[in-house]
Structure 1
Amino acid sequence: MATSNRTGRRQRPVAGAASSNRKRTRAVAGLGAGLAVMLLAGCGLQPATSFVPEVQPGAIQPVEGLPEDAQITVVSKNFTEQLILGKIAVMTAEAAGFEVEDFTNVPGSQPVRELMVSGEGDFTYEYTGTAWITYMGNPTGIPDKDEQWQAVHDADLENGLTWGRPAPLNNTYAFAVRSEAVPELGNISKLSQIGNLPVAERTLCVEAEFNSRQDGLDPMLDTYDIPRGSANGIPDGNIGVYDTGAVYTATDDGDCNFGEVFTTDGRIDALDLTVLEDDRKFFPAYNAAPVFNSETLEEYPQLQEVFDQVSPLLTDETMRQLNLKVDVEGQEPVDVAYDWMVSEGLITGEG
């Protein structure tokens, strides 16, 4: 498990171009040459997506008594959902009166983790399951979202990180069926009901990784008492293995009845797929939650209350619609984040 190497609270410069550049230089130096190369090659020291519209307070109000030079650094990974969440975080902090260093669009989970653990990042939205399995080295996740959150919360305190309460959105594995086929399959709504179908209807589309993972397809089928390769389960010939992303189209086209998906992917709504309930709680929880540098939160404890206004609004359904606007409709993540925050009354937009 990674540990913090900080010996004291870094000085926060007054916001401005010079202090911003110094802070970025410090961040790269603290990560080592390998990570510096990744950052420079992946998105540069100032990511191209760092622009955000000017925002005015709405439900999110400026923190009372906040110093004029109060500054935090927001980081995020570089895929659609993380870019949207990162921009939401940037605009949330700005509406609360902070000068924000926008370091969204960092290439990869580990670089973001290093920025947070080293103290150069003050805030990120992270997934509970990712922290538990990828960062902390546990072999499997915890399906119960509250237990999973508590486990990562407690473990990360020694790393100088404090987890805020999780959002409802849970970006985990699931299986989905094209909606028009639901009545044909007995109005199926739960994974356990696949075992009640005729064997010929138990057809699956999965990605290669999920097909071979130790916590993937085979143990899932065992959990639901429809074992792979069995005449009473799912024969190997009923399982199609696809490249990443092709599962959605294959499921929609009817190449299989049930496709492996991620619960917040915008293509679920775009293709009118219905997600089946994981009624035996096999899949681990990957709830997004605000993660704060503990010293930053001690200095500005109001941050937790500010983000508690935002996180409860982030559901699977909401995130699917926001992701859809980027991945399917071609909108910019920052515009999608801005429009959503205005529609929720969290900010009031440009003055």
Structure 2
Amino acid sequence: MRAPLATLVAILALTLSGCGIGLGTAGGYTASGTLAGPVAGVKRLDGASIAVGSKNFTEQVLLGKMTVILLKSAGADVKDLTNIPGSAAARQAQLVGQVQMMWEYTGTAWLTYLNHDKPIANSHKQYVAVRDEDLAENDLVWLPPTPMNDTYTMAINQATAKKYGITKLSQMSKVPAADRTFCVESEFTDRPDGLKGMLQTYGLPLGESGGIPRSNLLTLQTGAIYDATAKGQCTFGEVFTTDGRINALHLTALQDDKSFFPKYNGSLVIRKDLLTEYPQLTDLFAPVSKRLTNKVIAQLNAEVDVDGREPGDVAYDWLVSEGLIAG
């Protein structure tokens, strides 16, 4: 989900199309096992050579490592290009064929890569629209999406939740005007699917009478927002719904009860030529997608961001625990 502006994609496309791109990844060693359970009977990928990419934040690296491990366990020769710096570079790498498989988010593709102005509120319709357009325009196949939706919302700490009984964004107005303070990223303040639009939707327009003065905004880096919100430096903190730090810091993620934020369901995206040659990839990854709920991925994210474990180890252990591979 964490995507730069669409213009950055265009700039990188021009820059990278004329030369080989150094992705600057940090793949490292990744273990493998033996296919088991629901994927035990999937046709092996012996002889296949597949490059797997990911963006450079925890959830993406975890998903990329799961993909690398499962492919290796099926016999494929895998080039690990996980941890590519930036969404635009990762997308361009797949468009030009340096990366053949990568997890993406429906909202990111629709708004940033395919340049649409407004999201589609229904998550299934959003997926179908992205799936069909990206296949037609770019020969990229979107496998069925995960239940997880890595979108934005606001979070509050335990003291705020107890004091005001807030569980939904529509209840932000219960907080006295002077205490309606927000910890946000700089990009979130200005992007169309960010703070300004959210506040307008929920009747607290930014910078207007009765709304939220800009002096109530504290701009921080992503990781610092969680800690600042937990410590009460602001009442509301911008968070991602699948981030493991929400539970670890005992924050409450508020329900987007007016469905303002776009749907960012994860989906494994595969270049059409690769899937045509190895159609069994669909069956190999179907059980993974079905199991990736918000709760599951948040726990896995926390094992990395809170417990300090390596993403490859977390991904391997989860695949074993789910009976998809045997160690």
**Range class of TM-score, shorter chain:** 0.7 to 0.9
Corresponding residue for 2:244? 266
Structure 1 residues 94 and 277, CA gap change in structure 2 (3 angstroms): same
Q: Report the Cα offset of residue 89 of structure 1.
A: 0.7
Check if 1:334 corresponds to 2:312. yes
8 Å contact kept, 1:202–1:238: yes
Q: Letter of the aligned partner of 1:82 in structure 2?
A: Q
Q: Which deviations, in whole Å up to 9, do the C-alpha atoms of 1:260-288 show, x marking residues without a partner?
A: 11112222122111100000011111111
1:177 aligns with 2:187: no
Residues 61 and 96, structure 1, Cα contact 8 Å, conserved in 2: no
Contact 1:81 1:323 (8 Å CA) reproduced: yes
CA–CA separation in structure 2 for the residues paired with 1:310 and 1:234: 42
Deviates more, 1:139-148 or 1:214-223: 139-148
Distance 2:207 2:191 in 1: 17
1:86 to 64, 75, 78: 64
Larger Rg: 1
Q: What letter matches 2:141 in structure 1?
A: T
- Equivalent in the alignment of 1:315: 293
Report if the CA contact (8 A) 1:63-1:97 is conserved. no
Gaps of 5+ in 2: 1-5, 7-15
Identify the range of structure 1 (111-120 vs 121-130) with the bigger mean alpha-carbon deviation: 111-120
Asked if structure 2 preserves the Cα contact closer than 8 Å seen for 1:60 and 1:92, the reply is no
Q: In the alignment, is the contact (CA less than 8 A) between 1:76 and 1:83 conserved in 2?
A: yes
State which drifts further: 51-60 or 218-227: 51-60
| TM-aligned CA distance change 1:110 to 1:214, over 3 Å | closer
Give the match's secondary structure for 1:240: strand
| Percentage of matched positions with identical amino acids | 47
Answer yes or no: is the 8 Å Cα contact 1:170–1:288 preserved in 2: yes
Residue number in structure 1 paired with 2:77: 99
Q: For the residues of structure 2 that align with 1:267 and 1:345, how far apart are their CA atoms?
A: 27
Higher mean C-alpha displacement, 333-342 vs 172-181: 172-181
2: CA distance, partners of 1:271 / 1:257: 14
RMSD of aligned alpha carbons? 2.2
Q: Report the equivalent of 2:180.
A: 202
Question: 1:211 corresponds to which residue?
Answer: 189
- How far the C-alpha of 1:82 sits from its partner, in A, is 1.2
The alpha-carbon deviation at position 259 of structure 1 amounts to 0.8
Q: Which residue of 1 aligns with 2:283?
A: 305
Distance in 2 (CA, whole Å) between partners of 1:242 and 1:65 is 48
The one-letter amino acid of 1:214's match is P
Change (3 A) 1:291 1:67: closer
Decide which moves more: 85-94 or 133-142.
133-142
Q: Which runs of 5+ in 1 are unaligned?
A: 2-29
Q: Which residue pairs with 1:138 in the alignment?
A: 116
Instruction: Specify whether residues 197 and 164 from structure 1 end up closer, same or farther in structure 2 by C-alpha distance, changes over 3 A only.
Output: same
Query: After the TM superposition, which parts of structure 1 deviate over 6 Å for at least 4 consecutive aligned residues?
Result: none
Evaluate the alpha carbon distance shift between residue 61 and residue 216 of structure 1 in structure 2; reply closer, same or farther with a 3 A threshold.
Answer: closer
C-alpha contact 1:63 1:302 (8 A) present in aligned 2? no
Shift of 1:60: 4.6
How much has 1:85 moved relative to structure 2? 0.5
Seen in structure 2, the aligned counterparts of structure 1 residues 229 and 115 have a Cα distance that, compared at 3 Å, is closer
State the distance in 2 between where 1:142 and 1:194 align. Answer: 25
Matches within 5 A, 1:188-267: 188-267=166-245
Q: CA deviation at 1:65?
A: 4.9
Is the Cα–Cα contact under 8 Å of residues 62 and 96 in structure 1 kept in the other structure? no
Question: For the residues of structure 2 that align with 1:148 and 1:120, how far apart are their CA atoms?
Answer: 27
Read off the aligned partner of 1:168 and give its amino acid letter: P
Residue 90 and residue 67 in structure 1: after superposition, are their counterparts in 2 closer, same or farther (change >3 A)? closer
C-alpha contact (below 8 Å) 2:244/2:302 kept by paired residues = yes
| Residue 167 (str. 1) matches residue 146 (str. 2) | yes
Instruction: Give deviations 1:284-334, integer Å, cap 9, x for gaps.
Output: 111110111112212222211221100121122222221222222221110
Shift of 1:107: 2.4
In the other structure, the counterpart of 1:26 is none
**Comparing 242-251 and 218-227, the one that deviates more:** 242-251
Distance 2:96 2:215 in 1: 49
How far did residue 245 of structure 1 move?
Answer: 2.8
SS of aligned partner of 1:139: coil
TM-score relative to the length of structure 2: 0.87
SS of residue paired to 1:52: coil
Q: Work out the CA distance in 1 between the residues paired with 2:81 and 2:218.
A: 39
Report SS of the residue matched to 1:251: helix
